[in-house]
A = this chain, B = another copy of it.
């Protein structure tokens, strides 16, 4: 076991992860879970990759809005677009959820699926974090990559269950996490199949269809997977219901929350953070038996070597 999870320090947290995986994999034991039911779900933002200063997909939204601005001269005078074009995050924030929704719909809808996938793929290949200068896709957590490998090696099937956009996530989930496109559950815009005139295509409408957050996460899990997971890993109150749903099933279960405690190697935030708030989950973790992963204490390394 010494070579397992090398970026995890030898703490009770690591021991708890090893013990859980061993218990459900031990044939004949009371806690054995058949491989088909060894379903593990992972949040993405703040769980598999970082989410500060804001969700990385938001930078994609801003860049898309800027690319589209030439075709929308009216945006120069209209919020939230004016603020987005100027890169004025405070100005965007002042427009609230309504403004954010407008930006997401304008940047994620109104194109074909093929065009959107190309845009997202190209963006992910070169977009860099504003503070670290690293590619966003390198701002993933090395200990979590090792945990995914460890679970796969022990017969688990892993899904991403994220509030982020399903089609955005699918552009890097396999390459970065080894999680194939069909195992990504996320928020989505409405789609429409069109075949009138020219090549058939799937069009993305400027209308959010499903929000895979909070109560939406168990719903997304049911729709896509149709099995209750036995392991759920998140980091914010947006994951509360996913952990609650997972850990209230019968048999052995594991709910885990990554607590961002490391202001030196990453960011430290919890109860009061606008992005990635962890309040209820932190207050209830002990009573619910959820594993709190303390980044500062439990991780020997945060990001992969450059």
Contacts and interface: CB of A to CB of B under 8 A. Distances in A.
Contacts of A184: 226
Given A36-B180, A202-B218, A195 B241 contact: yes
A284 interface: no
Interface in A222-251: 222-227, 241, 244-245, 248
Number of copies: 2
A199 interface: yes
A39 to B, nearest CB: 8
Given A215-B192, A227-B181, A227-B182, A222 B202 contact: yes
Nearest to A215: B193
Interface string A135-170: 000000000000000000000000000000011001
Contacts of A192: 215, 219
Contacts of A211: none
Contact of A200 (B170, B181, B182, B248): B248
A5 to B, nearest CB: 27
Nearest to A184: B226
Given A182-B224, A226-B182, A191 B170 contact: no
A188 interface: yes
A89 to B, nearest CB: 31
Interface string A26-39: 00000000001000
Contacts of A248: 199-200
19 contacts: A166-B223, A181-B225, A182-B224, A182-B225, A184-B226, A191-B219, A191-B222, A191-B223, A192-B219, A193-B219, A193-B241, A195-B241, A195-B244, A195-B245, A200-B218, A200-B241, A202-B219, A202-B222, A224-B224
Given A166-B223, A200-B218, A202-B222, 10 more contacts: A36-B180, A182-B226, A188-B223, A192-B215, A193-B219, A193-B241, A195-B244, A199-B248, A200-B244, A224-B224
Interface of A: 36, 113, 166-167, 170, 180-182, 184, 188, 191-193, 195, 199-200, 202, 215-219, 222-227, 241, 244-245, 248
